[in-house]
Chains A and B, each alone.
Chain A
Amino acid sequence: MIKKINFKHSDEQLKKQLKPLFAYDLALYYPLLDDLEKKRLLNLIGLDKMTDMFVELDVEDQLDLISRLSEAKQKTLFRNMESDDLKEFIEDIDEENRPQIMSLLSKVKAKTISLLLTYDEDVAASIMSTDYISISLSNTIKEATDHVIKDSKETDYIDTLFVVDDEKRIVGLIDLKDLIMARSNQVLEKIMIDDFQFVYDDETIEKAIQTVVDYDRNVIPVLDSDDHILGIVTADDVFDEIIEASEDDYQKMALLSDYESSSSAFERTKQRLPWLMIAVVLNLLMASFLSIFEGTLQAVTIIVFFQPLILGMAGNIGTQALAVTILGINKNEFDGKHIPKDHLFKEVLIGLLNSVLLGIAAFIFVTLFLTLFPAQGDILPYRMGLVVFFAMSASMFVSSFMGALIPIILNKFDQDPSAASGPLMTTVNDLFALVIYFSIATLVFL
């Protein structure tokens, strides 16, 4: 964690104190400051750092920050911002406020942003930035180098340059490294990489992410169907996307929605309550249904000894199958036609094997348990063991099958596969397990 900023200092000293702090750290601070402190901070950090800090803030704090700036400073702030960050900001604010912000942008930038806003949120183009440098194939090495050095804006990505032909179609990439190493009499074509990775604007974000990750690229171009370059996707944006996606999965698996470490106990209660309530109501419905086994329960009370065991184990194996399947979907392992079937088949086999093995273990345990601690009535230990064996094997098998199947089905219909870790699924599994258990018990003992 960062050191506390001491606002008691004079402006001079405060400035010195702020200098070594990074924009990200300042952004953590900003929401906690009072009005006067915010004003002093904004005055002292300079516009470049302010822009970097702005990008890291939540939208409410972004609006708060803007309201404290003069119009001239607002304009500079927006000019300094990368186009993808700016687009994200404008996307996040209320629709009625957008025109006012757009009016502060330069004509070119306003047009770019409007264009970026038209893309669907799951296509590669929606996370692209337009701050890249293209150079013409007919340029000499010197012209190209000068172009990069003189014409590039602070926000431009310059580590890789994009080479276009006369019709503005992309023909290759040049790493800046190779450009500055090149001898001046070489032609661009010689140092250009012509088999490069890219995505089309209507391909998915996942495709863009996968391309960046697989080929260890720091940047890939986004092209339209005529091979014109529209923008770039950079590895740091990809990193953000990956982190968001995996945190999302993790939280869903843990039955959390939109968890933030800063949210208060009250907010957490509000967020989680709906979930828990659904689970409670479903469980109560299940309870009323199970009362049809009243007779059995009253006659053979010992079946309750092993009820948590059966429910728990069914839940556990289901969770395993579910997690494997969600990970597979995320890694695009099931893109091919037959792979989901193969995966399902494999998981079914695994489920079958482990269910039976665990069932046998449970049989041994139950028989031993009831021999050591005889229950009331005249129930033979091994018969109870058999009941548990059948109930546990069957419910574990079904639960593992569902764990593998449901996410694949959800994915097929373009729904979020991690939704399968919800309470409905758990309750259905529980219900199934108990119905089997009580039915077998009824058959055997009554």
Chain B
Amino acid sequence: MLKEMIQLNDEHILKEFLDDIHAHDLAELFVELTDQEKNKVFSLLPNEKLAELVSYLEAEDAAEILTEFDLEKQVELVEMMEPDDAADIIIELDKEEKEELLDKLSDDSEIKELMQYDEDETGSVMTTLFIVVEPDLDVKKATKKVIKEADQVESINTIFVADEKNIYLGAVALRDLLKAKTPLEVKELIMEYPVSIDTDPINKTVQAIRNYGIYEMPVVDEYGKLLGMVTLDDALDVYQEEAQEDFEKLAALPETEEDSGPLKTAMHRIPWLITLLIVSLPIALITRQFEHVLTAVAILIVFQPLILGSAGNVATQTLAVTLQMLSTHEKGIIKNSAKEILTGIMNGFIIGLIAFVMTNIFALINTSLTTDPLLIGLVVGLSLWLTVIVAPILAILIPLALHTFKLDPAVASGPFITTLIDLTAQLIYFGLATLILGGLL
């Protein structure tokens, strides 16, 4: 739509169109334009809308666009953005450009403060635009202050209260403030309200916003000084990103890159596949040790997918549960692990029993395959049980170990764990076979 508008070549109509369109919609149309068309849009957009447009783009794209302007305009644009958006974009700039731009910003710039935080700290997504009133202010004066400052903030639903040293005391609902009759001091209206610390993991803050059903979460430093707030819409964005990342990791997918061609995407995904291939190589080595059993009792081979597959399924289940607990910082990992292992023991017993019975029947029908159906059934059933017990143990220990060594536990994705389980299961299966069927050789 925007493309056609530009091709019409009527500046007046185009300008009107750009005035009316929401910055989000504009951002979606914008990415499809050619460089020339983009320049045309730039020339017609007032700075304020341009800043909005840039905020709605992916941070990487936004950074690229930002560099097309001279330094003076860059400064003007980032100062118009919400500080947290601006910080996200500046982080994406090349080192030199970043330094140049930061030099031009004043030293007490909120953008600079936000950029000091780690990506996964609450401080990195907070906005510094909020209204704060002092506790001993009269409600009438407080209301006046709110009205005066309302223009600079996104929302005035919740007003924070802090003392003269900026120590956070609580929050006041705008409704209560408006309804209150003077003379009354603000502190009489303060309600219990949650708070986050700037170095808290962002996941924790996002969970808290959800749990407490609030739209703004105040953020304080370790001394209780009020620094800013995290809004629900930012929390939502963070959550969606994190959820997608967890999902991708479970599937051994590297972070998605939008709009890249098949070749590039294929190359992007292949490192993980190669890694998995290499991890599965020792399986062949293990199997080789048991070649004599396999030659003697070839029927074992057809049950191998059953044992490896079931162990893999169980491990994936436990892995997902463990990862979720780690990422939401839930307590009680040990209790949960005990439950998981117990679950493995029970499930393993039942499916082991089923496998035992069915293998027996199967071996009775195909008499040519074995002379001893009962023993084959025993090997398959027992191996299945044992592997289903071992699988959750590995699926707990590996992410926990990674977590303890401060590595991202989600690296131990479903496929990765499954491959390790294959290795173990193989050892158990063929090992048991040698032990039990040893007499047959």
Contacts and interface: CB of A to CB of B under 8 A. Distances in A.
Contact of A327 (B215, B244, B325): B244
Given A214-B24, A283-B306, A302-B291, A239 B236 contact: yes
Q: SS class of chain B's interface: helix, strand, loop or mixed?
A: helix
Given A309-B277, A349-B262, A322 B251 contact: yes
Contact of B179 (A149, A177, A217, A243): A149
A277 interface: yes
Nearest to A304: B301
A353 interface: yes
Nearest to A273: B347
Contacts of B228: none
A290 interface: yes
A303 B384 CA distance: 22
Contact of B291 (A23, A158, A301, A350): A301
A346 B265 contact: yes
B74 to A, nearest CB: 23
Counting chain B CB atoms within 10 Å of each CB, the highest count among A159, A276, A369 belongs to: A276
Q: Which bracket fits the contact residues of B?
A: 35 or more
A317 interface: yes
A434 to B, nearest CB: 7
Counting chain B CB atoms within 10 Å of each CB, the highest count among A152, A180, A283 belongs to: A283
A235 B215 CA distance: 8
A389 B432 CA distance: 31
Q: SS class of chain A's interface: helix, strand, loop or mixed?
A: helix
B141 interface: no
A242 B277 contact: no
Contact of B253 (A218, A312, A323, A346): A323
B387 interface: no
A358 B358 contact: no
Contact of A280 (B150, B213, B256, B351): B351
Contacts of A235: 215, 232-233, 236
Q: Which bracket fits the contact residues of A?
A: 35 or more
Interface stretch (A96-104, A136-144, A223-231, A260-268): A260-268
A243 B272 CA distance: 28
B348 to A, nearest CB: 9
A20 B192 contact: yes
B158 to A, nearest CB: 9
A290 B269 CA distance: 32
A304 B287 contact: yes
Contacts of A254: 250, 316-317, 319-321, 414
Contact of A301 (B155, B266, B294, B346): B294
Interface in B221-244: 232-233, 235-237, 239-240, 243-244
A35 interface: no
B320 A308 contact: no
Interface in A173-199: 176-178, 180-181, 195, 197
Contacts of B316: 254-255
A262 to B, nearest CB: 9
Interface of A: 1, 19-20, 22-24, 52, 56, 148-149, 152, 158-159, 176-178, 180-181, 195, 197, 213-218, 235-236, 238-240, 242-243, 246-247, 249-251, 253-256, 259, 261, 264-266, 268-269, 272-273, 275-277, 279-281, 283-284, 286-288, 290-291, 294, 297-298, 301-302, 304-309, 311-313, 315-317, 319-320, 322-324, 326-327, 346, 349-350, 353-354, 357-358, 361-362, 365-366, 369, 373, 375-376, 423, 426-427, 430, 434
